[in-house]
Amino acid sequence: MTDLLQHLQLGFSVVFSFQNLFLCLVGCLVGTLIGVLPGIGPLATIAILMPLTYSADPAGAIIMLAGIYYGAQYGGSTTAILVNMPGESSSVVTALDGHAMARQGRAGKALGIAAIGSFIAGSFATLVVAAVAIPLSRLALGLTAGNYFSLMLLGLTLAIVLGSGSLLKAFCMLLIGVTMALVGADQITGEARLTFGSQVLYDGFDMAVVAMGLFGIAEILRNLGASERQPFVDNVVGGLLPDKQDIKDSAGAIARGSLLGSIIGIIPGNGATLSSFASYVLEKKLSKHPETFGKGAIQGVAGPESANNAAAQTTFVPLLTLGLPSTATMALVGGAMTLHGVVPGPQVIDMHPELFWGVVTSMWLGNLMLVIINLPLIGVWVKFLKVPYHLLFPTIILLCCVGIYSVNSRPTDVLMVAGFGLAGYLLYRLKFDPTPLLLGLVLGGMLEDSLRRGLILSRGSFWTFVSDPLTLVLLGLSAVIVVSALSPSISRGRKVLSEDE
Amino acid sequence: MTHEAAEQQGREPVPPYARLEVIGGATMVAIAALIWFGAINLALGTLPNFGPGALPRVLAILLALAGAGVLIQGLVRPEAAFERFEFALRPTLVIMLAVVLFGLFIRGGNFGLLSTPQLGLCVVGPLTVFIAGCAAPQVNLRQLLVLAFGLTALMLLVFPDLLRLGIPPFPAILQNAIPPSLGRETALRIAYAGYGVLALILYLAFVRPDRRAA
């Protein structure tokens, strides 16, 4: 316990430098700014804004990126509540009761309770992250290459199964992602692989380029393909502070949401979405008046918002302790860390303690900033919601171009963004979700490396490789998950989840 | 059965070649073939120490199998018969053009088939915004013009000046013509101040009267 306090103290000493506070603030603000725009979810926001963080030092960059993430998520909820256009699946549930409250003139209260719930859940989740980080990374340090390989396989399996859409298509995306990770110089021989003679591909695919194309530009093409729907925004937001009755009604929901979200977030897969759905269902079951749900029940906003915020935070756990990103967003964060020379994994906590604890405490600080800065600024965000889309998207296009060029000063990066934008849009029209592709791209190199090392150690015998007890258990678990996902009852559940999105 | 389903969906059945899953699956198989072709000259190695070509080939086979699975689903599953592959061509092409132009002319260079001069953010910025803006269903040219110059001014302020990121602001010819006594930084500041004022004038002349009228 005293250890924990000491670590948090170290973290705060890192965060409370002028530069890092400023980066956290800017991250939260621009994150909210882009996240609040209708149709642009947290993932697209991070993909678009990632280049902005490159000029900071590693700790500062990750702190800013985390700020962008929370800001984007918070902005997404604001849009969901005010205009019923959730930017991403984790705020779909919020839109149900949040928008109902807005139509009753209680939009301010919905926003207020969402912010307060998120803050409480965020504080709780920060403690969870701090508490489980050290034991988990100790555990991870003892793993062999074979263990690691099977652990990655398990994580990827979970991520695919808990995601939405067809399993087979998700598997295709994962395979392409892993293959893309292999493009470029071979880790051992340095030989050019799959470059088709192109000098540009020799350095491999840049995470930022792929993500900005697949999730940023593609998102715009997607919105343009749909007919332009000008969101109707009511000017009446109403009081922001919930009264005593509201607090009494939502206290339980916030507590349960925090706990639920923290647990679900650690498991690979789309934690934020899953936990908000789970929390909504739970609150409806526990409520004495389940009929009010969908008609402006404050618990229906407080629970899911707390849960998805807690989950958003604990999804950092697998990345920071095991080096395994479990969502596309974390894949981006992991990519940014690698770019700054900090390879995510169990060694981070010992080798870069100031970075690790700085990031953990900045999570809490980011949440605090969102409450104190964003609630008073709600009027400004409402104005942004009214910016017509036909002016908005050229702005984002230019921001993407300038941003990606400034990372490496390579014109070919911009051309590749265009290509991946087109690919992302076509994949969307073909109903392929590119999330597993990004996970594969981040993990591919590690996957090959641990497989190779594992096979060298076992002298090429697959049996020795597999017969290590932990490896066997992890591989078995993956197999069980795949089989159960194919079973009728669960695949129906997955279908419901993806249709609700 | 098919007739009922057709009524339910309110659409005609789609011929196999235009079905979503068929095209998706075929695309995956094609990508698998590309990967295989790309890995053909790489060493396979042995199991205890596999070479750079081993994993790509395994992945290509798996992808081909999975892609074929998607394709077969598209042919066999009754619901798949009603999912047509369609996409918005015009906005997609326009946006691609805007981004590609930015990439080709921001610094210029030799792109294999063509080499391009450097035009810098001052020229490419407004152009990108303007072309991208034309992808919208209804285009308001006057508003777009204001946005093009205003936004470029902002980008010039934030990226090269405040964040000090290396993005060429001027066309190559102009850049060399800047007198040393002026200095690049001052020239940059003059440029974005000028663009800002231009955007303001355009706004006052074009957009505000429109708003008043509305």
| Percent of all residues in chain A with a pLDDT value above 90, rounded to a whole number | 18
Our CA-based measurement puts residue B105 at a distance from the nearest CA of chain A, in whole angstroms, of 8
| Cβ–Cβ below 8 Å for B55 and A182 | yes
Using the Cβ of A381 and the Cβ atoms of chain B, whether some distance falls under 8 Å is answered with: no
Does the pLDDT value for residue A485 go beyond 90? no
Residue B9 has pLDDT above 70, yes or no: no
B179 and B93 fall within a common domain: yes
Q: How is chain A split into domains, by residue range? A: 2-500
Separation between Cα atoms, residue B165 and residue A285, nearest integer Å: 54
For residues A403 and A51, is the Cβ–Cβ distance under 8 A? Answer: yes
On the question of pLDDT at B6 being above 50, the answer is: no
**Helix B54-76 crosses helix B20-38 at what angle (to 10 degrees)?**
160
Contact criterion met (CB below 8 Å) for A392 and A37:
yes
E-state strands within A283-327: none
pLDDT-based confidence at residue B14 (cuts at 50, 70, 90) = confident
B114 plus B98 within the same structural domain: yes
Local structure of A285: helix, strand or coil:
helix
CB A160 within 8 A of CB A326: no
Same domain as B204, residue B115 = yes
Q: Is the pLDDT of residue A211 over 60?
A: yes
**With the C-alpha atoms ordered B168, B169, B173, B178, is the resulting torsion angle positive or negative?**
negative
CA angle A438, B48, B39 (to 5 degrees): 50
Residue of B nearest to A228 (CA): B137
Cβ burial A178-187 (10 Å sphere, 16+ → b, else e): bbbbbbbbbe
For residue B189, what are its two tokens?
């500041």
Question: Mind telling me how many Å the CA of B112 is from chain A's nearest CA?
Answer: 10
Q: What is the mean pLDDT of residues B73-79?
A: 86
Q: Encode pLDDT of A76-109 as tens digits.
A: 888 888 877 766 667 778 888 888 888 888 888 8
pLDDT in tens, A247-280: 888 889 999 999 999 998 888 777 777 888 889 8
Per the CB < 8 A criterion, the answer to whether A224 and B135 are in contact is: yes
Q: Is A200 in the B-facing interface, judged by CB distances under 8 Å?
A: no
Residue A192's DSSP bridge partners are A185
Q: How confident is the model at residue B27 (pLDDT cuts 50, 70, 90)?
A: very high
Residue of A171, A191, A401 best to disrupt the B interface, most CBs of B under 10 A: A401
Domain boundary among B82, B112, B132: B82
Which residues face B115 on adjacent strands? B110
**Token pair recorded at residue A45:** 């926001």
Q: Write out the residue range of the structural domain in which residue B75 sits.
A: 2-82
Q: Do B66 and A175 make contact, defined as CB atoms within 8 angstroms?
A: yes
Considering B42, B65, B82, which residue would you say is the last residue of a domain? B82
**Domain final position from B82, B110, B135:** B82
Q: Calculate how close chain B gets to A90, using CA atoms only, in Å.
A: 26
* Residue B21 shares a structural domain with residue B114: no
Is A398 touching B (CB cutoff 8 A)? yes
Contact A186, A193 (CB under 8 A): yes
Residue B74 and residue B157 in one domain: no
Residues B98 and B156 in one domain: yes
Per-residue model confidence (pLDDT) at position B4: 43
The yes-or-no verdict on residue A230 having pLDDT over 70 is no
Mean of pLDDT values over A314-319 = 90
Strands B109-110 and B49-50: what pairing? unpaired
Number of domains comprising chain B: 2
Among residues B199, B206, B111, the alpha carbon closest in space to that of B156 is found at B199
B101 shares its domain with B77: no
Report residue A121: phi and psi, to 5°: -60, -40
Sign of the Cα pseudo-torsion (A145, A142, A436, A485, in order): positive
Which ipTM was obtained for this model?
A: 0.91
Mean pLDDT of chain A: 85
Helix (H) or strand (E) holding B115: strand B115-116
Residue of B nearest to A420 (CA): B96
Residues B115 and B68 in one domain: no
The answer for A 438-467 residues in CB contact with B (under 8 A) is 448, 451-452, 455-456, 458-460, 462
| The residue count for chain A | 501
Query: Tokens for A160?
Result: 């695919």
Query: Same domain, yes or no, for B13 and B65?
Result: yes
